């Protein structure tokens, strides 16, 4: 069985954002067992699974990644779309365009401390589109 739905998130500011609740609200047919795939249709934002409790984790992610992969136009040739564009592509490639989570007993089988993050790597990234697919 395949179930699929495409949604548009509200616009988020640059940084890491917990979207687990949005994910849970989007799914209206929970299979007994399966896998949820979430795909982001963009190349300067990404999805990851990380700590779901302390907002300092999300701030540390944003600060560390920007130090590691800086908005420095001298390091890149693709600068026409802004100093944050090429670094955003690299961050997004490292972080990933998909997350997969097992579904067990009609629920996401996440660990206790796991949440789903939208990683917005641009200052004005706009409203991002996600495609949800469940295989069961």
Binding site for a second copy (CB under 8 A): 2, 4, 6, 33-35, 37, 39-43, 48-51, 54, 56-57, 59-61, 64-65, 67-69, 75-78, 80, 86, 89-90, 92-102, 104, 109-114, 129, 131, 133, 135-136
- Distance of closest approach, residue 86 Cβ to a second copy, in angstroms: 5
111's tokens: 């660990």
Q: Among residues 5 and 123, whose Cβ is nearest to a second copy? A: 5
Q: Among residues 22 and 114, whose Cβ is nearest to a second copy? A: 114
- Distance of closest approach, residue 74 Cβ to a second copy, in angstroms: 12
Q: Among residues 28 and 80, whose Cβ is nearest to a second copy? A: 80
C-alpha to C-alpha distance for 81 and 95, rounded to whole angstroms: 21
Rg (CA), the chain: 16
- Distance of closest approach, residue 25 Cβ to a second copy, in angstroms: 19
User: Would you list the DSSP string of 29-96?
Assistant: ---SEEEEEEEE--SSEEEEEEESS-HHHHHHHHHHHHHHS---GGG-S--TT-TTHHHHHHHHHHH-
Q: Among residues 13 and 93, whose Cβ is nearest to a second copy? A: 93
C-alpha to C-alpha distance for 92 and 96, rounded to whole angstroms: 6
Burial level of 71, CB count in 10 A (0-12/13-18/19+)? middle
- Distance of closest approach, residue 84 Cβ to a second copy, in angstroms: 13
- Distance of closest approach, residue 114 Cβ to a second copy, in angstroms: 6
């Amino acid at each position: 069985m395949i179930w699929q739905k495409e949604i548009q998130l509200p616009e988020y500011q640059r940084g890491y954002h917990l979207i687990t609740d949005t994910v849970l609200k989007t799914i209206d047919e929970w299979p007994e067992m399966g896998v949820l795939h979430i795909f982001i249709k963009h190349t300067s934002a990404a999805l990851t699974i990380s700590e779901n409790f302390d907002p300092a984790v999300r701030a540390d992610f944003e600060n560390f990644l920007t130090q590691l992969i800086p908005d420095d136009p001298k390091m890149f040739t693709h600068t026409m779309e802004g100093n944050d564009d090429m670094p955003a592509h690299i961050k997004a490639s490292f972080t990933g365009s998909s997350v997969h989570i097992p579904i067990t007993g009609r629920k996401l089988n996440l660990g206790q401390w796991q949440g789903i993050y939208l990683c917005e790597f641009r200052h004005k990234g706009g409203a991002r589109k996600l495609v949800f697919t469940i295989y069961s």
